[in-house]
Amino acid sequence: MSRIAIIADTHVPTRARAIPDWVAAEIRRADHAIHAGDFDSNESYDRVVDLADGDLTAVRGNVDPATLDLPNAATVDLGGATFVVTHGTGSPAGWHDRVVDAARAETGSSADPIAVAGHTHEVVDTIVDGVRVLNPGSATGASPADRATMFVATVDDGSLAVDLRTA
């Protein structure tokens, strides 16, 4: 069984001073961490890498510095499940479809991956055209979020369970 910490939109330092201690503890406990972009700084990225002990899949967000050399999309297989991570940059209108299209582009149109994205700071756990779409919200509660949120997922033989964690 794999335990996965799923976060996004940390926005440190422009909207938050630091990653909350409870989020940091969840990342440390996880076997792998996923960050769906908008670290906001190289220091924030380095902090998450350190917390995850290097077991991190991360993508570029729309406010990440150019010096942060991350892909726009990344795929990782964990516990028999395929996760495709993207930020979801763009208008809130069409966000779900844009995320699903990005996930299918990474894995092929016949696959049904788990799509992880951020950008909207809204918690999402839904299925769109056979693709499970997850948005953990903002791990620091950065506006427009009203609180800090993240997902802790477990995958066992391809079976995914997702729990929302909040401050």
Q: Give the pLDDT confidence of 22-45 residue by residue, as tens digits.
A: 999 999 999 999 999 999 999 999
Domain ranges of the chain: 2-166
Q: Does the pLDDT of residue 109 top 70, yes or no?
A: no
Instruction: Identify the pLDDT of residue 19.
Output: 97
Neighbours of 81 (CB within 10 A): 19
Instruction: Please give the structure tokens belonging to residue 40.
Output: 């906001």
For 92, counting Cβ atoms within 10 Å of its Cβ (0-12 exposed, 13-18 middle, 19+ buried), the class is exposed
Give the residues across from 114 on adjacent strands. Answer: 83, 132
* Superfamily for the 2-166 domain: Metallo-dependent phosphatases (3.60.21.10)
The pLDDT score that the predictor gives to residue 34 is 98
**Packing angle between helix 21-29 and helix 42-51, nearest 10 degrees?**
50
State what percent of residues in the chain have pLDDT above 70.
Answer: 98
pTM over 0.75, yes/no: yes
Mind listing the pLDDT tens digit for each residue in 82-106? Answer: 999 999 999 999 999 999 999 999 9
pLDDT of residue 31: 98
Are 73 and 106 a contacting pair, CB within 8 Å?
A: yes
Residues 15, 54: Cα–Cα separation, whole Å? 25
pLDDT in tens, 61-71: 999 999 999 99
